[in-house]
Amino acid sequence: MSFAPAAGQPRDTTIHTDSTGLEQGMFDLPVKDGTIAAYYAAPQRKKNAPVVLVIQEIFGVHEHIKDICRRLAKEGYFAVAAELYQRQGDPSTYTDIPKLISEIVAKVPDDQVYADLDACIEWAGKQGADATRVGVTGFCWGGRLTWMYAAHSSKVKAGVAWYGKVATGHGPLIKEQVLDVAAQTHAPVLGLYAGQDASIPLDTLDALRDKLAQGNEAARASEIVIYPQADHGFLADYRPMYREVDARDGWQRMLAWFQRYL
């Protein structure tokens, strides 16, 4: 995986992963109240690949999230990303982030997300993936849900949370926070955070470390990594806050984590 342009080329930080050697595309994911749109990427002709659920940022399953799925598929994983806001609206039509949060994100209950992620696992298993080896990774809004789903589902064997809130959520439907559930997680979670991220105070990460240290075996195996010079969204190569050195390190840590636990 290349995180840098070739010599002599103009610098464009946006990463474009091709689909050579992959099966990939949008599909209709069966869920309890019908279907929702989803994207998957998996190695061609590979059966029993471990499943990795990819949980979107607040912006939905756009090209960056699809690219993350393809990157994971290149590493041998069956990656699935569902449009978890579909019932509430289309995030791609918004340019105002506060309005997006108030009109769509704040209306998405955790239980709805859990059920949709359960459906992703079931669907992947029917396609020949190994639904007994399930990892989950997510970004921002999805970073919080990574912790929450790892605590919710015993199917999860490993999680990697990228800069998700741990002491708060988005909107009045949120009844529990990461700090409430992390000590009883079903799977070890690697949390990757930014030292310059004003939306996630460092003292909340200290509190999370304390909760994990006092928790069950999976909680005690979890880790928190803070990149001192990074800001929120440092893996988002299509955005100005992308920080290549920390994105590269975090990506390698994630792969090592999944290799260890899946």
Phi-psi region for residue 138, left (φ > 0), alpha (ψ -120 to 50) or beta? Answer: beta
Average pLDDT, stretch 40-57? 97
| Domain tally, the chain | 1
Average pLDDT, stretch 33-47? 96
77 near 35, Cβ under 8 Å? no
Average pLDDT, stretch 146-170? 97
**Percentage with pLDDT > 70 across the chain:** 96
For residue 106, is it within any domain? yes
For residue 78, is it within any domain? yes
CA 66/CA 81 separation, integer angstroms: 8
Q: Tens of pLDDT along 9-29?
A: 345 899 999 999 999 999 999
Q: State the DSSP code for 186.
A: S
What are the residue numbers of the active site?
140, 197, 232
Give the CA diameter of the chain.
52
For residue 7, is it within any domain? no
For residue 36, is it within any domain? yes
Q: Tens of pLDDT along 184-216?
A: 999 999 999 999 999 999 999 999 999 999 999
Q: Which domain holds residue 124?
A: 22-261
Sequence-ordered strand ranges (E) for 34-107: 34-43, 50-55, 78-82
The predicted structure's pLDDT at residue 21: 98
Token look-up 């800001």 returns 231
Angle, helix 141-152 to helix 110-126, in steps of 10 degrees: 70
Q: Tens of pLDDT along 83-141?
A: 999 999 999 999 999 999 999 999 999 999 999 999 999 999 999 999 999 999 999 99
Per-residue buried b or exposed e for 13-31, using 16+ beta carbons within 10 Å of the residue's own CB: bebebeeeebebeeeebeb
For residue 8, is it within any domain? no
pTM of structure: 0.94
Average pLDDT, stretch 237-250? 97
Q: State the DSSP code for 174.
A: -
**Percentage with pLDDT > 90 across the chain:** 93
For residue 9, is it within any domain? no
| Phi, psi angles (nearest 5°) of residue 181 | -120, -15
Residue 5's pLDDT band, with cuts at 50, 70 and 90, is: very low
For residue 1, is it within any domain? no
For residue 124, is it within any domain? yes
What CATH number is associated with residue 207?
3.40.50.1820
